[in-house]
């Protein structure tokens, strides 16, 4: 009889968060009660938890986030807690420190390393398992977490998870929502997030919060970081993109927040299987034996595939384990797999102003092309088109985005600026809105969207 254990280990991850380029901007509105809406006139307390410490001088993610949420006039919170690294400690702190105005918390920021391939660096309990859907569910089942009541967290509370494209992990957001009582919405970005100084002397008051587009290349962790191979891989993966791959691969540290740069990290995972006797332990001393073991263990293969990294980039190492179980000795195998990831990062920068040359692009708070939300929120998937915001119709957004990615200069300058500021405009050509230079699939998509638009308009008449 075998006992199987799945374990996901966290890598050294970047200080940032990647966008699903096919998403459509929509509006998110909370499902709430009339009673709460009527009485909620008192300003609510906001709080930020910095759930880690920096290990590298060139990656000051936690330090800059701590300064930012204490100082920035737009995003600072009344309380910043910097010595809590687990979800249990967060919930215990909320329980022991209710807001003085006797209203539930309004905004709860959780700042942790994490990325779209694996879960968070922060743990469920001090020195315990890292935060994942599975570890949260187990902690709730074991009554380890003090779930807050409605005096602390209600449906008008927002839990904002700041990580690296962790918005792509829907199960994680839903698990965190359960940990906060199933009432608060949990929000996270699908883009990379990071913080940067605008002043050369690193004045904390100059720190800004940026979102960024990302591209990924992979390498075997025991091989040399080979620039030419990575460039060829990026060109194959993104054939229509004219990003200067080599420039980004050669820049690890930005000179200003608008520059393309890269960050590399390792994504590991492990799996253990325990056997009743030594004779039952399979032989994995040869390459064929190891490959056969992985092929036979579908659970482990599914775990690797869930990370969306080609298997050929994983380094697999096997270790014999020996356990004492009362008077018996149990034997096991533990496999550790690691894949190298190079992430190229292009910050989204808004139009410059006299006060700031590198203003961060600030998306709409309910934009589901950029943010993901826990399932306990209602999504209105088709926002009304208005004269003030004519480009937020989902059909207009989808149709014109195809042209924007070719660097189209629209007849309406506002539309061009809209896509430039949203990070969806690529200066790779100077095509027109009625161009025939699009691919056949792109032209068919535009025709389909126009047909749906026409049908919707006729229904409204």
Tens of pLDDT, residue by residue over 194-239, are 899 988 888 999 999 999 989 999 999 888 778 999 999 999 999 9
C-alpha to C-alpha distance for 344 and 261, rounded to whole angstroms:
6
C-alpha to C-alpha distance for 236 and 230, rounded to whole angstroms:
10
Backbone angles phi, psi at 301, to 5 degrees: -60, -40
C-alpha to C-alpha distance for 140 and 177, rounded to whole angstroms:
12
Q: Is 241 helix (H, G, I), strand (E, B) or coil?
A: coil
pLDDT band at 412 (very low <50, low <70, confident <90, very high): low
Task: List, for residues 142-194, the tens digit of each pLDDT value.
Answer: 999 999 999 999 989 999 999 988 999 999 999 999 999 999 999 999 999 98
Token digits of residue 10:
């966290």
Q: Is the pTM of this model over 0.75?
A: no
Task: List, for residues 59-91, the tens digit of each pLDDT value.
Answer: 899 999 999 999 999 999 999 999 899 999 999
Greater confidence, 81 or 438? 81
Q: Other CB atoms closer than 10 Å to residue 255's CB: what's the count?
A: 9
Least confidently predicted of 8-12, 170-174, 291-295, 374-378: 8-12
C-alpha to C-alpha distance for 137 and 73, rounded to whole angstroms:
37
C-alpha to C-alpha distance for 337 and 334, rounded to whole angstroms:
10
Give the mean model confidence (pLDDT) for residues 245-263.
Answer: 91
Instruction: Find, among 27, 29, 21, 26, the residue nearest to 419 by Cα.
Output: 21
The sign of the CA dihedral 128, 131, 132, 133 is: positive
Give start and end residues of each alpha helix (H) in 213-341. 227-237, 245-249, 287-296, 298-306
**The pLDDT of residue 246 is above 90:** yes
**The pLDDT of residue 423 is above 60:** no
Backbone angles phi, psi at 265, to 5 degrees: -155, 175
Give the mean model confidence (pLDDT) for residues 427-455.
Answer: 61
Instruction: Find, among 108, 54, 104, 103, the residue nearest to 79 by Cα.
Output: 108
Q: Which residues share a beta bridge with 453?
A: none
Q: Lay out the sheet containing 107-111: strands in order across.
A: 79-81, 46-50, 107-111, 158-162, 185-189, 371-373
C-alpha to C-alpha distance for 207 and 197, rounded to whole angstroms:
4
Q: Is 428 helix (H, G, I), strand (E, B) or coil?
A: coil
Q: How far apart are the first and last CA of the chain?
A: 67
**The pLDDT of residue 395 is above 60:** no
**The pLDDT of residue 441 is above 90:** no
Least confidently predicted of 271-275, 280-284, 377-381, 411-415: 377-381
Greater confidence, 441 or 3? 441
Mean pLDDT of the chain, nearest integer: 80
C-alpha to C-alpha distance for 131 and 90, rounded to whole angstroms:
12
Angle of CA points 59, 63, 69, to nearest 5°: 130
């Amino acid at each position: 009889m075998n006992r199987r254990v799945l374990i996901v280990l966290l890598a050294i991850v970047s200080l940032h968060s990647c966008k699903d380029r096919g998403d459509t901007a929509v509006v998110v509105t909370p499902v709430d009660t009339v009673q709460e809406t009527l009485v909620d006139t008192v300003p609510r307390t906001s709080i930020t938890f910095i759930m880690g410490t920096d290990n590298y001088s060139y990656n000051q993610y936690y330090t800059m986030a701590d300064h930012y949420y204490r100082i920035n006039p737009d995003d600072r919170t009344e309380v910043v807690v910097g010595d809590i690294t687990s979800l249990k400690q967060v919930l215990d702190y909320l329980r022991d420190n209710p807001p003085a105005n006797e209203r539930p918390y309004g905004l709860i920021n959780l700042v942790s390393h994490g990325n779209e391939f694996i879960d968070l660096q922060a743990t469920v309990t001090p020195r315990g398992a890292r935060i994942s859907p599975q570890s949260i569910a187990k902690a709730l089942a074991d009554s380890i977490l003090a779930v807050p009541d409605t005096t602390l967290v209600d449906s008008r509370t927002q839990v904002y998870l700041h990580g690296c494209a962790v918005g792509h992990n829907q199960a994680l957001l839903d698990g965190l929502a359960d940990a906060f009582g199933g009432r608060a919405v949990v929000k996270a970005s699908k883009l990379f997030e990071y913080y940067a100084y605008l002043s050369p002397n690193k004045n904390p008051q100059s720190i800004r919060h940026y979102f960024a587009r990302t591209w990924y290349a992979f390498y075997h962790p025991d091989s040399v970081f080979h620039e030419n191979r990575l460039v060829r891989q990026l060109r194959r993966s993104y054939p229509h993109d004219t990003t200067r791959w080599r420039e980004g691969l050669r820049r690890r540290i930005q000179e200003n927040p608008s520059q393309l740069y890269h960050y590399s990290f390792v994504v590991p995972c492990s799996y253990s299987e325990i056997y009743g006797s030594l004779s039952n332990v399979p032989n994995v001393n040869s390459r064929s034996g190891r490959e056969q073991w992985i092929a036979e263990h579908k659970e482990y293969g599914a775990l690797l595939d869930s990370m969306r990294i080609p298997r050929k980039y994983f380094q697999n190492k096997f270790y014999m384990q020996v356990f004492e179980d009362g008077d018996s000795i149990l034997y096991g195998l533990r496999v550790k797999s690691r894949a190298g990831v190079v992430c190229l990062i292009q910050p989204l920068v808004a139009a410059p102003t006299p006060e700031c040359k590198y203003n961060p692009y600030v998306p709409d708070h309910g934009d589901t092309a950029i943010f993901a939300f826990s399932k306990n929120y209602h999504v209105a998937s088709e926002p009304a088109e208005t004269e003030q915001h004519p480009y937020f119709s989902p059909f207009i957004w989808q149709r014109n985005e195809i042209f924007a990615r070719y660097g189209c200069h629209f007849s309406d300058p506002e539309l061009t600026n809209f896509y430039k500021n949203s990070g969806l405009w690529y200066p790779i050509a100077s095509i027109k809105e009625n161009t025939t230079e699009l691919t056949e699939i792109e032209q068919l998509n535009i025709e389909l969207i126009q047909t749906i638009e026409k049908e919707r308009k006729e229904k409204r008449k």
